[in-house]
A and B are shown apart, each in its own frame.
Chain A
Amino acid sequence: MSKKTTALLVCAAVTAAMASHPALAEEQEIRIGALYATSGPCLIFGESALKGHQMLVDKVNAEGGIDGRKVVTVHRDSKCNPAEATAAARDMIAKDGVDFLVGGISSSEGQAISEVAKQEGVIYVASIPKTTEMTSPEYFHRHLFRAAANTNTEGKSAAIIVDKLGWDKVCTLLLDYSYGYSLDESFTAHLQKIRPDAQIINQEWPKFGTTDYTAYITKTMGAGCDGVFSNIWGGIFPAFAKQAKPFGFFDQLEFVSAGEVGAPLVSENMGKDMPAGIWTNSYELFYYPDTPEHNAYVKELKDYLGSEHPPSWPSTGYIAAKWVLEGVRAAGDVNADAVIAALEGLTIDTPIGKQTMRASDHQANRGQFWGQMSDSEDESYPYKVLNPVEYVPADDLMD
């Protein structure tokens, strides 16, 4: 009997403890819920993005906050899984009282968090998810903002590079899932528009998660194209490049790759295996552009991470957090409606230059850094870098 009573008492105590709101948002705080995967396949990206977020928040707090409001970050591991992201986003809103959500890595995570944001009426700034679906009329809602470049920008900027390289016969080597389909759509449409004579003569669709690209490599090489457009992204590119190299793939064909293969971390991991001469993109590059704002950011990041050549992923978390904080600063309030109104059409300074949040679909005009893989001239950094490199602005490419 006594055991039963104890059990009941414990139950009641737990219920009561969880029911009381330990974290009712204080008026003076800006509470941000950060959903970055710090386990599972997205670990390497999530951890980096979270560091960028935290660096900005720490700096802002050290300077006294936004108009005296302290910034508090609550982080939950979204585990690279949309169902977990849904539960974590809800927990942070219901239990930790966050006013804003940032984060998400995969498109499905982005969609999941966006759905929670819609139901709960909390602002969500998507820092990494790219799918155009999120901001399409069918799914767009006013609480959703995107700091990341979408797949239209990425595919269309790739088409611009292909046009510059003067390809007429184009092969594609895109991964067989939504990211690949979206890029195919935007790339093809834009290429037709700016280079009507170009033709897509062969398309291969490697399965996402495959470890054997041989068949796709040989078929692409036999198709007789001038160059290949691919989205075998940074994390899986090393395996692909290793298999393609013995065929002389990168010697015979020009290669334009979306998916942030140009990120410094990928170059460092691959070392000599990174093929020279390919064209690819990155979110940010510690060695470009040489502007005071960017140099200041890189220096800060170097100190924060204790790394002489900081990775590009922290910029995603940094810029997303910056949108939230600048939105609050402009609104002078953490109220969602006020911040939404302030963010629409707002232009802010970011490490990669000025960014504007389009009012119509809450898509930031985030462009892409594109360049050609070449040996580094900096002796302290013996890895390949993008050179020449340029920023392809997104203003005309987002739709």
Chain B
Amino acid sequence: MNKSITGTALLVLLLALVPLAGSRYLIYLVTEIQIFALFALSFNLLLGYGGLISFGHAAWFSIGAYASAILLTTLGWPFLLAFPAAVAVTALAAALIGYFCVKLTEIYFSMLTLAFGQLVWAIAFKWVSVTGGDTGFIGVAVPEFLDSPVRFFYFSLCVVLLCATVLWVIVRSAYGMTLVATRENRNRAEFIGVNVRRVQLVAFTLAGTFAGVAGALFTVFNHSVFVETAWWSTSAEVMIMSILGGVGSFVGPVIGAAVLIFLDRTVTEYTQYWPSVMGVILLAVLFFMPTGIAGFLNRRRGGTRR
């Protein structure tokens, strides 16, 4: 426990020092990793802790992204109002759609999340006057205090750390334990009086909300939103990040996001055949580290923590 606190503190310190290195490339790269780390963390609340396989997690990311773009630009709200409002919109949407999704279990749950996810994409694609359709929403009115890569880096670092802490507290809480119980044995949890659906709905809403935060950050980072973010492949990507990093550990998805983005960017730089290279790397990782990178490292350290 003590060790992990020291580790986290070191990591945060290292991150905070990144902009001092003076490389804009590094700032951009780490900012993107932070955002996707939060996205993957939110996804792992469902997959790792709730055992809920969602194929539509991109929906929340893109709702957060579009909501912040629309509130900031089309409606001209001030940032300090628009950002939380965009997150609130995502939370509401996640609660509403989650209500229907958690009525189903297993593969039916997954299929329904996929269907709703694609519905969000279809709305974003067709509602051209609001979302810009397939040409995208560009020129987001980003406030001046976030208009520099360094300032935005620190802003997103703070937001992501705050969200990660909240998620950490959630999964360690009685509620978090109950969620794990519903994953381990749904029937037994029901017998001891757990309202499984409600527990899952809360998890679904929370996961959606934090994905919305990541989406809103991504909008401000890029000054733009594109309909491709709502496509199911984004949901697949966040799933790969989580599995690659390790769904059995809290930090697993963060590692997965960092590794996947770093690989994606560097491999693309050196070869046109990056899809094959990435495929081989992913295969190797999953084959030799079935519990993900985090699980592998844990075992190497002789750790017994799940």
Contacts and interface: CB of A to CB of B under 8 A. Distances in A.
Interface stretch (B24-32, B46-54, B76-84): B24-32
A91 B14 contact: no
Contact of A95 (B14, B18, B25, B228): B25
Interface in B275-291: 275
Given A76-B268, A112-B226, A177 B139 contact: no
A107 B26 contact: no
Contact of A82 (B128, B226, B268, B272): B226
Contact of A18 (B14, B23, B229): B23
A21 interface: yes
A19 B23 contact: yes
A133 interface: yes
Contacts of B224: 82, 86, 111-112, 115
Contact of B32 (A16, A87, A139, A177): A87
Prevailing SS type, chain B contact patch: helix
A257 interface: no
Interface string B260-280: 000001001100101100000
A387 to B, nearest CB: 35
B272 A119 contact: no
Contact of A119 (B223, B268, B274): B223
B193 interface: no
A224 to B, nearest CB: 29
A112 B136 contact: yes
B278 to A, nearest CB: 10
Interface residues of B, number: 34
B227 A18 contact: no
With a 10 A CB-CB cut-off, give which of A108, A177, A178 has the most chain B CB atoms: A108
Given A21-B23, A39-B274, A91-B269, A111 B136 contact: yes
A178 B265 contact: no
B26 A18 contact: yes
Contacts of B268: 76-77, 79, 88
Contacts of B139: 115, 138-139
A83 B227 contact: no
Interface in A169-206: 177-178, 181
B36 to A, nearest CB: 11
B25 A86 contact: no
Interface residues of A, number: 39
A11 B26 CA distance: 13
A108 B228 contact: yes
B21 A19 contact: yes
B227 A108 contact: yes
B84 to A, nearest CB: 24
A51 to B, nearest CB: 12
B135 interface: yes
A38 B272 contact: yes
Nearest to B267: A77
B22 interface: yes
Contacts of A95: 23, 25
Contacts of A133: 135
A303 to B, nearest CB: 23
Given A138-B139, A139-B139, A115 B223 contact: yes
Given A77-B268, A90-B28, A181-B128, 18 more contacts: A11-B14, A16-B21, A39-B274, A81-B228, A82-B226, A83-B222, A83-B228, A86-B222, A86-B224, A94-B23, A95-B23, A111-B135, A112-B136, A112-B222, A133-B135, A177-B125, A178-B128, A178-B134
Interface of A: 8, 11, 15-16, 18-21, 38-39, 76-77, 79, 81-83, 86-88, 90-91, 93-95, 106-108, 111-112, 114-115, 119, 131, 133, 138-139, 177-178, 181
Interface of B: 10, 14, 18, 21-29, 32, 125, 128, 133-136, 138-139, 222-224, 226-229, 265, 268-269, 272, 274-275
27 contacts: A15-B26, A16-B21, A19-B21, A19-B26, A20-B23, A39-B275, A81-B226, A82-B224, A83-B228, A87-B32, A87-B265, A91-B28, A93-B24, A94-B24, A94-B25, A95-B23, A107-B134, A108-B136, A108-B227, A111-B135, A111-B138, A111-B224, A112-B136, A112-B222, A115-B139, A115-B222, A178-B128
| Across the A-B interface, the 7 shortest Cβ-Cβ residue pairs | A19-B21, A94-B24, A95-B25, A94-B25, A82-B226, A19-B23, A108-B136
